[in-house]
């Protein structure tokens, strides 16, 4: 049995000020240059500070940024696929007279969130960035559109967390040092992590339970944060999973907790990024489904499987699943490897579009597609989708 892996990069990063230091820090912050940040950046500051993004200790400096773009690794060769950067405008730099070597305070809604040591200020090529990360420069891709809205300079450097922004999902929040203790307490030596931005249908349930047959425990870790229009709302996903776990899962074998960050929709690169984060939580295995973290037709259906061949040193084992569907003849969920009827009228495939349409009409999808209890929870929301 593998046992809980070491955090990515060898140690769990902790960049959180002590309670005593925090009181002094709030006073110090008043004397420093303040930079206003977005809610998404404030959330990821806490991910850095509490080890979710280990081994990062701050926002990427130039050499690490360039290495991630070109090699999908940090400068020291540690696998890392998504650039975690902080943008700033030339106007802000001039107006606030910010220079390399300065200490600034990052603030959200004028509240100090973190200190940052400005190690480097550098230019970036947004088109090069999106082509490397998203494999397209099409502005209809949400990640590309988001990048082009960013400012024209990046600043890199280590951070120290002063305070957190309000977390509406506090009861579902566990940090890596907490999950690692929890998994050990449960006696789990192998844990499969499941990433999701959707409410569960029967295909998801089958994948999760199949992975659970191979491991001691299942870590269901929905991503909550900014998503594109038409995705499920965070609250709807969590309520749906609560009902599903209550009725259909062995409770001593499942942990439900959230990952607070935004979806990047970077397909293969984001699949590896998601695996790294779950390694930091203490998981030994990571479930990679069809078109993981994809959007539209920008990536091949199993491109997110192929990319893992480039990372034999990742330190977490991917579990690859192909498309699952219900077969009326086989009387159960199957895939193309196990079912001889895959191209016949006897197959029912869970369709996200059809599920969405039925839920909005207040209709419960067929039981072969979604648990009625889950559907009812979603229907109660009226509209459980991001608008």
pLDDT digits (tens, 9 = 90+) for 27-84: 888 889 999 999 999 999 999 999 999 999 999 999 999 999 999 999 999 999 999 9
Please write the tens of the pLDDT for every residue from 115-142. 999 999 999 999 999 999 999 999 999 9
Whole-number average pLDDT of the chain: 95
Q: What pTM does this model have?
A: 0.96
- Final residue of a domain: which of 131, 161, 191? 161
Q: Does 171 score more than 70 pLDDT?
A: yes
Specify the pLDDT at position 303: 96
State residue 324 phi and psi, 5-degree precision. Answer: -110, 150
Q: If you average pLDDT over residues 310-318, what whole number do you get?
A: 97
Q: Are residues 230 and 110 in the same domain?
A: no
Q: Are residues 187 and 119 in the same domain?
A: no
* Paired residues of 263 in beta bridges: none
Q: Does 339 score more than 90 pLDDT?
A: yes
Q: Are residues 189 and 155 in the same domain?
A: no
Catalytic positions are 197-198
- Final residue of a domain: which of 112, 130, 161? 161
Closest of 154, 134, 152, 153 to residue 144, by C-alpha: 134
Q: Does 353 score more than 60 pLDDT?
A: yes
Calculate what percentage of the chain has a pLDDT beyond 90: 90
Q: Are residues 147 and 191 in the same domain?
A: no
Half-sphere exposure of 232 (CA within 13 A, CB side): 28
Alpha-carbon dihedral 157, 161, 166, 167, rounded to 10 degrees: 80
Total count of domains within the chain: 2
Q: What is the CA radius of gyration of the chain?
A: 22
Q: Are residues 294 and 343 in the same domain?
A: yes
List of residues 6+ apart from 231 with CB closer than 8 A: 197, 198, 263, 385, 386
Q: Are residues 146 and 183 in the same domain?
A: no
Q: Are residues 363 and 225 in the same domain?
A: yes
- Segments forming the whole domain that contains residue 251: 170-380
Q: Does 1 score more than 60 pLDDT?
A: no
- Final residue of a domain: which of 134, 161, 188? 161
Q: Are residues 336 and 214 in the same domain?
A: yes
């Amino acid at each position: 049995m593998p046992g809980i892996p070491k955090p990515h990069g060898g140690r769990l990063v902790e960049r959180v000020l002590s309670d005593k230091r925090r009181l002094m820090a709030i006073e110090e912050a008043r004397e420093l240059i303040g930079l206003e940040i977005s809610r998404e950046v404030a959330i990821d500051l806490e991910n850095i500070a509490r080890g979710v993004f280990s081994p990062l200790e701050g926002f990427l400096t130039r050499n690490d940024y360039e290495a991630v773009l070109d090699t999908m690794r940090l400068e020291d060769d540690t696998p890392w696929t998504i650039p975690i950067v902080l943008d700033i405008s030339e106007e802000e730099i001039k107006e606030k007279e910010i220079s390399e070597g300065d200490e600034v305070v990052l603030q959200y809604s004028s509240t100090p969130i973190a200190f940052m040591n400005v190690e480097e200020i550098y230019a970036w090529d947004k088109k090069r960035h999106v082509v490397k990360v998203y494999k397209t420069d099409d502005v209809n891709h949400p990640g590309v559109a988001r990048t082009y809205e960013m400012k024209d300079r990046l600043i890199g450097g280590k951070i120290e967390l002063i305070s957190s922004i309000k977390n509406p999902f506090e009861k579902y929040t566990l940090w890596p040092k907490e999950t690692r203790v929890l998994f050990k307490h449960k006696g789990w030596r192998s844990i499969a992590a499941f990433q999701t931005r959707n409410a569960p249908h029967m295909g998801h349930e089958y994948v999760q339970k199949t992975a659970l047959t191979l491991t001691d425990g299942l870590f269901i870790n929905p991503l909550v944060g900014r998503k594109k229009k038409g995705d499920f709302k965070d609250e709807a996903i969590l309520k749906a999973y609560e009902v599903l776990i209550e009725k259909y899962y062995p409770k001593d074998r499942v942990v439900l907790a959230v990952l607070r960050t935004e979806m990047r929709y970077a397909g293969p690169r984001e699949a590896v990024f998601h695996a790294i984060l779950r390694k930091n939580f203490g998981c030994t295995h990571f479930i990679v489904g069809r078109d993981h973290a994809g959007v539209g037709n920008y990536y091949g259906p199993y491109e997110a499987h192929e990319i893992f061949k480039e990372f034999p040193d990742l330190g977490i084992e991917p579990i690859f699943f192909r498309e699952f569907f219900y077969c009326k003849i086989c009387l159960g969920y199957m895939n193309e490897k196990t079912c001889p009827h895959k191209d016949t009228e006897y197959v029912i495939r869970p369709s996200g579009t059809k599920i969405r349409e039925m839920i909005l009409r207040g209709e419960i999808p067929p039981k072969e597609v979604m648990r009625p209890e889950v559907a009812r929870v979603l229907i109660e929301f009226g509209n459980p989708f991001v608008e």
